[in-house]
Amino acid sequence: MEQTHAGVEDCSVSGFESAEKVIIRWDATASEEAREKMIFNDPNEVKLYLNAVDEIQKIVSSSAGDIENRANSVIQIAMARLEDEFRNILVCHSSPINSDSLMLSSSSSSSSSSQLEVDEDGTSSNNGNEDDDQEEEETDLLKRSSSSAITGSAAVRLPTGRGSYSRSTSSIREIELIPIESVVHLSWIARRMVSAGYLRECIQVYGSVRKSAVDSSFRRLGIEKLSIGDVQRLNWEALEQKIRRWIRAAKICVRVVFASEKLLCEHVFESVGAVNIHEACFMETVKGPAIQLFNFAEAISISRRSPEKLFKILDLHDALIELLPDIESVFDLKSSDSIRVQAAEILSRLAEAARGILSEFENAVLREPSRVPVPGGTIHPLTRYVMNYISLISEYRPTLIDLIMSKPSRNATDSNTPDFDFSELENNKGPLALHLIWIIVILQFNLEGKSKYYKNAALSHLFIMNNAHYIVQKIKGSPELREMIGDLYLRKLTGKFRQAATYYQRAAWVKVLYCLRDEGLHTKGSFSSGVSRSALRERFKSFNALFEEVHRVQSQWLVPDSQLREELKISILEKLSPAYRSFLGRFRSHIESGKNPENYIKISVEDLETEVLDLFEGYSATQHLRRRSE
C-alpha cells in the first residue's frame, strides 16, 4: 500500500516537473525566445502549455508543503504569461469596425446557424471527468470553430441560457469582432485565469483593450469626446452638424458596436464559470463609451432653449425613441441599469425641451418688437419665418401630437395678447393643432400692430392683405398643415386678406373715383344742359394730380404674389376704367371745345389701364420716372 502511494507521489512529482519545465520555458522574464514568440501562434505549443497549466493547477489544489509552494510560484509565472497572451490576441483583433459593417441594413443580418460552444464538455455543467477528457475536447472544439470561421458567418451566436437576445429588435445587427478560433483561445485562457484567482486581471485586460477598440470605432464614426460643458459652448451651426452625425452614429453604436461587444463577451466568458463575468467585462468595455455617447444628447436636452433648436431636438427625440428598445435589449443587465435610466431620462428631457421651446416661440412671435415698416407693404420677415416654422412643425406631427398634451392658454387680463375664442375649434382639434392656430392668431395680432407704423392708410391695408394672403397660401401649400389648421379657420383667414384688399381699394382710390362724379359740374338751375367749364377743368386737374400721385406712390409698393397682384389690378380697373370712360364720354366735348384741352385731358382710357398695370411692382422712384418718360 505504501509502495503504491509512493508511486502516485513520484508520478505527481514527475508530472509537476514536466509541466514546470514547459511553463518556465515560456517565462518572458527569463528567456529572450519567450519574449519574441507567442504561444498561441503555434497549435502544438498551445496544447502543451495549457496541459501544463492544468497539471500545475491540479497539484496546487491537492498538494501541500514544498511542492505546493513551487506550484504556486509556477502558477504566477503561468498567469503572467497567459495574461500577455490574452492581451496579445485581443490587441491583434482590436481594429475599429470596418466601414462595410457600419452600414446598417433595414433589417438585421441573419444569424449563423453554427454555434460556438465554449463549454468544453458540450454542456454548461462542470463534472469531475472534465480534466481527463479536456485535451481531446479542446482539440475537437478548435477544429469545429475553425470550420465555422471558414463559412464567413457574420454573427456567431452563443447559447446564453438567459434568453436575452430573444428580445432583441430586428434592427440589431451583431457582427464578428474577433475570429472564432481566437475567441476559443481567449475563452481557454480566461477559464484558467479565473480558476487560478486572476479574475480581476482578466477583466481589466479585456476591458482596456476592447474599450480602446470601441473608442477607435467611435472616432471613425465621428463621435468626439466632448463634455456636457463643451457641447453647450458650441455655436448652434456647429451643433446642428454634430447632431446629424450623432443620430447616424448612435444607431450604429447601439445596434452594431455595443451589441457585437456584448455578444463577444458572452462567447469569451459564458463558460468560464465565474458568476456574471461576461456582464462585468461588457460593462468594463462599453460603460465609458456609452456614457460619452449619451452625454452629447443629454447636453442638448438641458441646453438653453431657443426656437431654432426645436427641430434638431425633435430629430434627437425621434432617434432616441426609435433606439430605446435596442438600448433596453443590449443593456438588459442589472449592471447596466444606469445606461437605460440615462437614455430614458434624456428622452424625457428632450420632450420637455420641445414643449418649452414651442411655448417660448409663441411668446417670441407675440413680443417681436420691430417697428420699422417693411418697404412697399410687402411680406414681413416675421411672417415668412413663422409660417415656415409652423410648416416644419406640421411635418413633425406624429411626434408632437404625443408631446403636446395641453391646449394654449392666454392671459385674459393682458391687453397685449389677442382675444380669441377656441371653443368652436376645440371639439375637432387636438392640442397641437390649437397651438398652431394660436401662433397664427398672435402673428396676425403682431402684424396688426406693425401696420400702424405706416403713415399711408392704404399701404397699411396692403401690408395686412399681403401677409394674410401669404399665410393662407402657406397653409394651402402644406397638406399636413392644412389638415391641422382645418377649413373652418382657413376660411376666416381667407376672409381676412379679402377684407384687407377691400379696405385698401377704398383708402387708395375713393378720392380718385370721387373726381369722376357729376355733382358740382352743372351750372345752377340748368342741370340738363349747363356745364360749368371752369369746374370741369378743375375736376380734370384734380383727377390728373391724384391719379399721378397714386401711380407714382403705388408703383413703388409691392404685391409679391403674381396672381394676387393681377387680381388686385383687375379689381381696380373694373371700377376705375368704366368710371373714367363714362366721365370722358360725358364731358370730353366741353373741354375740347375750349382752349388748351391737352392741359386737362392728359390721359386716355388705354393709358390709364396701362399705368394701373404698373402698380405693385416695387419700382424705385428712379425706375418710375424712367418708365413715365419712355
156 DSSP 8-state letter = -
pLDDT of amino acid 63: 65
Report the alpha-carbon distance of residue 101 to residue 295 in Å, rounded: 25
pLDDT of amino acid 156: 30
Higher pLDDT pick, 109 / 490: 490
3-class DSSP state of 410: coil
Selection from 578, 509, 513, 505 nearest residue 550 by Cα:
509
Higher pLDDT pick, 205 / 154: 205
Answer yes or no: is pLDDT of 161 > 50: no
pLDDT of amino acid 551: 93
Report the alpha-carbon distance of residue 191 to residue 180 in Å, rounded: 17
Report the alpha-carbon distance of residue 309 to residue 354 in Å, rounded: 9
pLDDT of amino acid 64: 62
Q: What DSSP element (H or E) covers 318?
A: helix 310-330
Q: Are 508 and 550 in contact, with CB atoms under 8 Å apart?
A: yes
Report the alpha-carbon distance of residue 185 to residue 179 in Å, rounded: 10
pLDDT of amino acid 101: 58
CB count within 10 Å of CB 569 equals: 17
Cβ-proximal residues to 321 (8 Å cutoff; 6+ apart), any chain: 347
Q: Which of 193-202, 263-272, 422-431 has the lowest mean pLDDT?
A: 422-431
Q: Are 402 and 429 in contact, with CB atoms under 8 Å apart?
A: no
Higher pLDDT pick, 306 / 415: 306
Rounded to 10°, the helix 487-514/457-476 angle is 150
Give the model's confidence band at 476: pLDDT under 50 very low, under 70 low, under 90 confident, else very high: very high
Q: Which residues pair with 617 in a beta bridge?
A: 558
Q: Which of 11-15, 52-56, 81-85, 503-507 has the lowest mean pLDDT?
A: 11-15
Helices (H), 368-486: 381-395, 397-403, 423-426, 431-451, 457-476, 479-485
For residues 342-371, average pLDDT: 94
3-class DSSP state of 415: coil
Report the alpha-carbon distance of residue 144 to residue 585 in Å, rounded: 109
pLDDT of amino acid 102: 59
Report the alpha-carbon distance of residue 232 to residue 147 in Å, rounded: 52
pLDDT of amino acid 412: 62
For residues 132-153, average pLDDT: 39
DSSP line for 457-473: HHHHHHHHHHHHHHHHH
What is the identity of the amino acid at 176?
A: E
For residues 560-577, average pLDDT: 95
Report the alpha-carbon distance of residue 235 to residue 204 in Å, rounded: 39
Answer yes or no: is pLDDT of 149 > 50: no
Q: Are 261 and 269 in contact, with CB atoms under 8 Å apart?
A: no
Helices (H), 63-116: 66-92, 99-102
Q: Are 186 and 268 in contact, with CB atoms under 8 Å apart?
A: yes
Q: Which of 94-108, 113-127, 178-192, 378-392 has the lowest mean pLDDT?
A: 113-127
